[in-house]
Structure 1
Amino acid sequence: MNIAIEDPAQPDIIALLEHGDAEAASLYPAESNHLLPIDALREPSVLFHVARDAAGTALATGAVVLKGDWAEVKRMWVEPQARGQGLSKTMLATLELKARAHGVRWLRLETGVDSHSALGLYRRAGFVTREPFADYRPDPLSVFMEKDLSLKTLV
C-alpha cells in the first residue's frame, strides 16, 4: 500500500468520496453529516491522503485539516473490499504523523454514534470523547473526540 497526498478532484477519488457519502447518508440524516466537499478538500490547509494498492487502485482516503495548534481528521474512508487489513489504522497513523510534522498538538474529529468500527479505531488509537468543537453543535448522533499529540504515542 502506498499512502500519499493527492488532489481529491480525480475521478477515482471522487468515486471513493461518493461511496463514503452514501454510507453516511444511509446511517444519518443530512443535518448530522458533516462532510467536506471537494472544493474544501483542495484548500491549502488540507492534507488529503489517498491509499493505493500496488496496481494503483485507490482504496482509502483521509484528510487532516490544519487549524494552528489543532487539526481535524476528515473524510476517513476505506472501500469495503479493502477492510480488515489494517488500512484504516495505517491511514490514521499517517494522518497523525503529518499533523505532528505541522506542529499540531490536538487532533480532533467528529463521527457518528452508529459508526462502531470507526469509534473502535479512534479509541484504540488514543482518542477520547470531548465536547463539540469549532462550529459543531451538540448532536445526539455525533461523537466528538480528540487526541493530545504531545503525549508522543502513535496509533
Structure 2
Amino acid sequence: MDNFVIRVSDPAEPKIGQLLERLNQYLMELYPPEVNYIPSLESLRQPNVTFLAACLQEEVIGCGALIDQQGKYGEIKRLFVKPEFRRLKIGDRLLASLEKSAISLNLPWIRLETGILQPEALRLYEKRGYQPCPPFDCYKEDPLSVFLQKQLLRS
C-alpha cells in the first residue's frame, strides 16, 4: 500500500489521540501497568520530540515518535499501526522516517524499549538492524521488556 502519507503531526490532534488511546488499551491488555512506559501527551509535544502520523486520506492509521535525548541518542516511542493495517509496510516506513529524523539531528544511536509479547514489533526491529542492549535512561531490567539499539550512519 503506497497511498498513505507520513507527516509531522501534533499528538494532540483528536484523531491521533484516538489512535494513542487504542495503543494504550492494547498495551494494558498485554502487560501489567508497572511495565507500561506510556509517555504523557505533553511529553510528546516538547521541542525535542518529532511526532509522525501515517494517514490514509483522513484516517490516522499509524504513528511514532522520536525523542532527542540531549544529543546522546534518539528514543523511539509510541510506534503503532492499527492492526487492520499491519503487514502493509506502514510500520517499516514510519520507523525509516524516524531514523531519517534522527540522522538529520546528528544522533549517533537510536534506542527503544518494547515488550516480549509483541512479536510483530520485534520482527520489524530485527529486520531494520536493531540489536539487544542493556536498559537505558530510567528503564530497569524486566523479563517483559526488550531493549534494542541501532547505530546510525551519519552522512
Q: Same fold (TM over 0.5)?
A: yes
Match of 2:8 in 1: 5
| 2:134 corresponds to 1:131 | yes
TM-score, L = length of structure 2:
0.94
* In 2, Cα distance between equivalents of 1:2 and 1:149: 24
* In 2, Cα distance between equivalents of 1:106 and 1:151: 10
Match for 2:65: what amino acid? A
* In 1, Cα distance between equivalents of 2:150 and 2:101: 14
Taking only aligned residues, the RMSD between alpha carbons, in angstroms, comes to 1.1
* In 2, Cα distance between equivalents of 1:39 and 1:150: 30
Q: Is the 8 A contact 1:69 1:103 kept in 2?
A: no
Match for 2:34: what amino acid? E
- Find the residue that maps to 1:133 and give its secondary structure: coil
Structure 1 residue runs of 5 or longer lacking an equivalent are none
Q: After superposition, what is the alpha-carbon deviation per residue over 1:53-93, rounded to whole angstroms, capped at 9, x for unaligned? A: 1x221100000000113010000010122111110000000
Counterparts of 1:72-87 in structure 2, within 5 Å, are 72-87=75-90
Ranges of 4+ aligned residues in structure 1 off by more than 4 Å: none
TM-score, L = length of structure 1:
0.94
Match among 87, 107, 110 for residue 110 of structure 2: 107
* In 1, Cα distance between equivalents of 2:14 and 2:154: 38
Structure 2 residue runs of 5 or longer lacking an equivalent are none
Q: How many residues align?
A: 151
- Find the residue that maps to 1:9 and give its secondary structure: coil
Q: Is the 8 A contact 2:103 2:154 kept in 1?
A: no
Displacement of 1:151 in angstroms is: 7.6
